Amino acid sequence: MILAGDVGGTKVHLALYQFDHGRLSHVRDEKFPSHEYAGLEDIVRKFLIESGDPEVTAGCFGVPGPVRGGRLKLTNLPWVLDSRELSLALKIEHLFLINDLEANGYGIPELSPEQVYELRPGAPGSVGNRGLVSAGTGLGEAILVWNGKLHVPMASEGGHCDFAPRNEIEIELLRYLQRILKGRVSFERVVSGLGMRNIYAFLRDEKGLEEPDWIKERMLAEDPNAIISELAEEGSNELAVRTLDLFVSAYGAEAGNLALKVLSAGGMYLGGGIAPKILKKMKDGTFMKAFTDKGRLSDLLVQMPVRIILESRCALMGAAAYADARAAELSGESVRAASL
């Protein structure tokens, strides 16, 4: 059995996988609120006990941030993760920590066609590097390097690069955020769950768009981003509509920036939890207009495929695939190969 994890500041998502004829087969998964536990080890022990204490041959956790020497200090939790310490404590010989966007990247080849939505097909037979941009709680980015045989994911912290406004309204948004944040503004402050709320507050407080009392009440009781997305896609509130327009346009622009930097002829993938929830808006042309609006190089981006990952367990699938592949390198035994 393979143990996979997607570790975040608010929740830890764990899963067990096995292989069936060389393909990943989901066995069980469960989500745990991170702040209720002293550390990752406690969560994993609980999950494995509830799963019948299966024999785990390898494990991998996708984690938010750069992993150095198998070690990571989380920014949103008082946890320090060390792959060697976890391996010994959990008695899992082959256990690895990788960046969460790396895990997403390793998960892409495991996806079936129905788990991906093609926003634009691009040029026929497009081959080369790929880019991965995931807007969710934060903004994750990764490079998928084509080595002639397969795509090798490389972690990045590109979501923390400087926000680059492209027009008057975005310049005003930048100035507003500089004032609110008292300094530097990254793309994550605009293209993320927090970013959507920042845009909403800017349009309400700086541009004077009306927020009716009934929306204020819903905002206090429900997920603000879900409400903004719902009202925007219905077209029932101008503030929500303008918020989602600005958000999706900035998302497209940053995805296009990454596409230029890595020359993603093999395509751009959009991960994270937001894009699948606003699929109607993603399809209306706002995203692709901003993605391809790159002056003299616009035609280059028109040729690139753009795909939205619909499968919420992509990072878990990637972590499981990575765990088996690395364990096979170290031990000479592969669960995937044995299932063929």
CA 266 to chain centre: 19
Contact 195, 170 (CB under 8 A): no
CA dist 99 and 296 (Å) reads 34
The answer on pLDDT for 126 being more than 90 is: no
| Res 125: pLDDT | 83
Contact 189, 246 (CB under 8 A): no
CA dist 45 and 40 (Å) reads 9
Q: Which of these, 131, 155, 101, 32, lies nearest to 319 by C-alpha position?
A: 101
Contact 153, 291 (CB under 8 A): no
Instruction: Say if strands 139-146 and 71-73 run parallel, antiparallel, or are unpaired.
Output: unpaired
Contact 132, 121 (CB under 8 A): no
User: What average pLDDT is seen over the chain?
Assistant: 95
Q: Of the ranges 117-131, 182-196, 256-270, 283-297, which one carries the lowest mean pLDDT score?
A: 117-131
Q: Whose structure tokens read 């699929």? A: 279
CA 139 to chain centre: 7
Mean pLDDT score, 214-229: 95
Domains of the chain as residue ranges with CATH: 2-107+313-338 (3.30.420.40), 118-310 (3.40.367.20)
What percentage of residues in the chain have a pLDDT greater than 90? 93
Q: In this predicted model, what pLDDT tens digit does every residue of 232-266 receive, in sequence order?
A: 999 999 999 999 999 999 999 999 999 999 999 99
Mean pLDDT score, 277-296: 97
Neighbours of 145 (CB within 10 A): 16
The answer on pLDDT for 101 being more than 80 is: yes
CA dist 16 and 53 (Å) reads 11
pLDDT band at 179 (very low <50, low <70, confident <90, very high): very high
Q: In this predicted model, what pLDDT tens digit does every residue of 35-90 receive, in sequence order?
A: 999 999 999 999 999 999 999 999 999 998 889 999 999 877 889 999 999 999 99
Q: Whose structure tokens read 């956790």? A: 61
What percentage of residues in the chain have a pLDDT greater than 70? 100
| Res 77: pLDDT | 85
pLDDT band at 124 (very low <50, low <70, confident <90, very high): confident
| Res 137: pLDDT | 87
Q: In this predicted model, what pLDDT tens digit does every residue of 309-323 receive, in sequence order?
A: 999 999 999 999 999
**C-alpha count within 13 angstroms, C-beta hemisphere, residue 160:** 6
| Res 65: pLDDT | 86
Instruction: Say if strands 151-156 and 139-146 run parallel, antiparallel, or are unpaired.
Output: antiparallel
Contact 94, 329 (CB under 8 A): no
